C-alpha cells in the first residue's frame, strides 16, 4: 500500500449478494479496489443518470460487484507508476468503465488505469471539470460529431431535448458559446426563464409538440441533440433541414425508433450515435481542451446545483430518477457528511 494513501478511507460502495442489492458509505483500503498504475486523491465527482440507476438498483449498470459508484472524478495524483503522470498532477476521468467494471469516483481515493486519465486542462478548475463531467463531455461529443458531418451555425437553429437536465443544460450553454442559435425543448415550463438565461434563444414545451406522422414534414431545425429517444427521436427525423444532423445520446423516453428512409435519402440528414463512455483517448483529450477554451460554457455557476457529500448521494439519486432538480449535481468528496 502507498504511504501517500491512508490505511482506510470512505467510499460509496454498491453491493449485490445474498443479502440483496444495497449501497452506502463504507470504509475501505486501496487494495479493495481494482489494480491500476495511478492513484488519485479525489476532490470532486458528479451525479449522472447512470449513477442514479446504479446506486438505486434501477438499471443493469454494474457488470460486477461490489464496486464503488461514480462514473466521474477529478483530483490530484498521489502515486504513479506511469511516466505521463507525477505526484501532484491534477487530473480527471469520465466514463471509461468507472462504476461498470472498475471502481468509480465516489471515494476519497481511486486507483486507476492511466490510459483513461486526462490531465486537467488549463482554464478549468477541478470543480468546473465535474460540473461538466460526463454530461458536458457528452454534449461536446455531440457537437464534435455533428460538425464533423458538416453542421454549421449558419444552417439554422439546433434543438436540444431534455434541456433542463445535465446534458441538455450544458449543451444549451456550450452550443450558444460556439455560435449556434439553440432551441430548448423541455417539459418543465417553470424553468424556461432559466433556460433562456443559460443560452436558449427559444423554449418549447414538449407537451405542445405534436410530431407529424408523415415520413417528412415541414423542416424546423438544422440539427438536434436528443436526450430522449423513442417518439421524440422518431419525430425529430421528420423535421430536420436538409444536410442537418441529429446526435442521439439518451433514451429517457424509450429505446424505440419509428422512422423511414425518407429523411435520409431525400434530405440527407445524419443520425449520429454518441457513446461518451467508450470515446477514444485522442478525441477525449481534444474535447476537454475545447471545453476549457472556446467551448467552455459561460454559466457553469448557474447550471451547478449546491454540492453534496457522499452520504447525501441516495437523496440525489431519488431526485434525479423522479425528474426533479435541474442542471448538475456535484459531489465534494471532503465535504462533511450530514449523517
Residue pLDDT tens, the chain, 339 long: 457 899 999 999 999 999 999 999 999 999 999 999 999 999 999 999 999 999 999 988 999 999 999 999 999 999 999 999 999 999 999 999 999 999 999 999 999 999 999 999 999 999 999 999 999 999 999 999 999 999 999 999 999 999 999 999 999 999 999 999 999 999 999 999 999 999 999 999 999 888 888 999 999 999 999 999 999 999 999 999 999 999 999 998 999 999 999 999 999 999 999 999 989 999 999 999 999 999 999 999 999 999 999 999 999 999 999 888 789 999 999 876 544
Report yes or no on 46 lying in a domain: yes
pLDDT of residue 323: 83
pLDDT of residue 252: 87
The secondary structure of the chain in percent helix, strand, coil, rounded to multiples of 5, reads 30, 30, 40
Q: Do 99 and 222 belong to one domain?
A: no
269 close to 243: Cβ distance less than 8 angstroms: yes
Q: Do 38 and 153 belong to one domain?
A: no
- Return d(Cα 77, Cα 72) in angstroms, integer: 15
CATH number at 166 reads 3.40.50.720
Report yes or no on 1 lying in a domain: no
105 close to 73: Cβ distance less than 8 angstroms: yes
Report yes or no on 278 lying in a domain: no
Closest CA to 233 of 290, 185, 304: 185
Q: Which residues, listed in sequence order, are joined to residue 224 by a DSSP beta bridge?
A: 159, 246
- Return d(Cα 84, Cα 235) in angstroms, integer: 46
Q: Do 142 and 269 belong to one domain?
A: yes
Q: Which residues, listed in sequence order, are joined to residue 203 by a DSSP beta bridge?
A: 184
pLDDT of residue 247: 98
Q: Cα 96 to the chain's mean position, in Å?
A: 12
- Return d(Cα 53, Cα 57) in angstroms, integer: 6
End-to-end CA distance of the chain: 29
Report yes or no on 67 lying in a domain: yes
Domain count of the chain?
Answer: 2
- Return d(Cα 83, Cα 221) in angstroms, integer: 47
pLDDT of residue 210: 85
CB within 8 Å of 148: residues ≥ 6 apart: none
Q: Do 167 and 253 belong to one domain?
A: yes
Report yes or no on 162 lying in a domain: yes
Q: Do 210 and 93 belong to one domain?
A: no
Q: Is the dihedral of CA 333, 32, 12, 62 positive or negative?
A: positive
pLDDT of residue 212: 83
105 close to 71: Cβ distance less than 8 angstroms: yes
42 close to 333: Cβ distance less than 8 angstroms: yes
Report yes or no on 3 lying in a domain: no
Q: Do 320 and 203 belong to one domain?
A: no
pTM: 0.95
- Return d(Cα 305, Cα 191) in angstroms, integer: 14
- Return d(Cα 223, Cα 163) in angstroms, integer: 15
Residue found under cell 418549447 = 204
The dihedral over CA atoms of 117, 122, 123, 127, expressed in degrees to the nearest 10, equals 40
Give buried/exposed letters for 32-42 (b at 16+ CB in 10 A, else e).
bbbebbbbbbb
Report yes or no on 295 lying in a domain: no
CATH number at 59 reads 3.90.180.10
Q: H helices within the chain, ranges in order?
A: 49-56, 126-148, 166-177, 192-197, 230-236, 262-265, 281-291, 300-303, 313-321
pLDDT of residue 213: 86
Complete DSSP assignment for 225-273: EESSBHHHHHHHTTSEEEEEEEEE---TTBS-----SHHHHTS--EEEE
pLDDT, one tens digit per residue, over 34-65 is 999 999 999 999 999 999 999 999 988 999 99
Structural domain that includes position 97: 9-120+305-332
Amino acid at each position: 500500500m502507498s504511504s501517500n494513501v491512508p490505511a482506510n478511507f470512505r467510499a460509496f460502495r454498491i453491493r449485490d449478494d445474498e443479502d440483496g442489492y444495497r449501497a452506502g458509505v463504507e470504509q475501505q483500503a486501496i487494495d479493495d479496489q481494482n489494480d491500476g498504475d495511478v492513484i488519485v486523491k479525489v476532490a470532486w465527482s458528479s451525479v449522472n443518470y447512470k449513477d442514479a440507476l446504479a446506486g438505486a438498483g434501477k438499471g443493469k449498470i454494474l457488470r460486477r460487484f461490489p464496486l464503488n459508484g461514480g462514473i466521474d472524478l477529478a483530483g490530484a495524483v498521489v502515486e504513479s507508476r506511469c511516466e505521463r503522470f507525477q505526484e501532484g498532477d491534477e487530473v480527471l476521468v469520465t466514463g471509461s468503465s468507472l462504476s461498470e467494471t472498475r471502481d468509480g469516483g465516489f471515494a476519497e481515493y481511486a486507483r486507476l488505469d492511466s490510459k483513461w486519465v486526462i490531465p486537467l486542462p488549463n482554464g478549468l478548475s477541478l470543480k468546473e471539470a465535474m460540473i461538466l463531467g460526463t454530461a458536458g463531455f457528452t454534449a461536446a461529443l455531440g457537437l464534435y460529431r455533428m460538425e464533423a458531418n458538416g453542421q454549421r451555425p449558419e444552417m439554422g437553429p439546433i434543438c436540444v431535448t431534455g434541456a433542463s437536465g445535465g446534458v441538455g443544460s450544458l449543451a444549451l450553454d456550450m452550443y450558444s458559446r460556439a455560435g449556434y442559435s439553440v432551441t430548448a425543448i423541455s417539459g418543465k415550463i417553470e424553468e424556461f426563464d432559466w433556460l433562456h438565461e443559460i443560452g436558449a434563444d427559444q423554449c418549447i414545451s414538449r407537451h405542445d409538440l405534436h410530431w407529424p406522422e408523415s415520413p417528412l414534414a415541414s423542416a424546423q431545425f438544422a440539427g438536434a441533440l436528443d436526450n430522449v429517444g423513442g417518439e421524440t427521436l422518431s419525430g425529430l427525423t421528420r423535421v430536420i433541414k436538409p444536410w442537418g444532423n441529429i446526435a442521439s445520446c439518451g433514451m429517457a423516453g424509450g429505446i424505440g425508433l419509428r422512422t423511414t428512409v425518407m429523411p435520409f435519402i431525400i434530405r440527407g440528414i445524419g443520425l449520429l450515435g454518441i457513446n461518451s463512455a467508450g470515446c477514444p483517448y485522442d478525441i477525449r483529450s481534444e474535447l476537454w481542451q475545447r471545453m476549457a477554451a472556446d467551448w467552455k460554457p459561460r454559466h457553469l455557476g448557474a447550471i451547478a446545483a449546491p454540492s453534496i457529500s457522499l452520504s447525501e448521494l441516495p437523496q440525489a439519486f431519488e431526485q434525479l430518477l423522479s425528474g426533479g432538480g435541474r442542471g448538475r449535481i456535484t459531489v465534494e468528496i471532503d465535504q462533511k457528511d450530514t449523517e
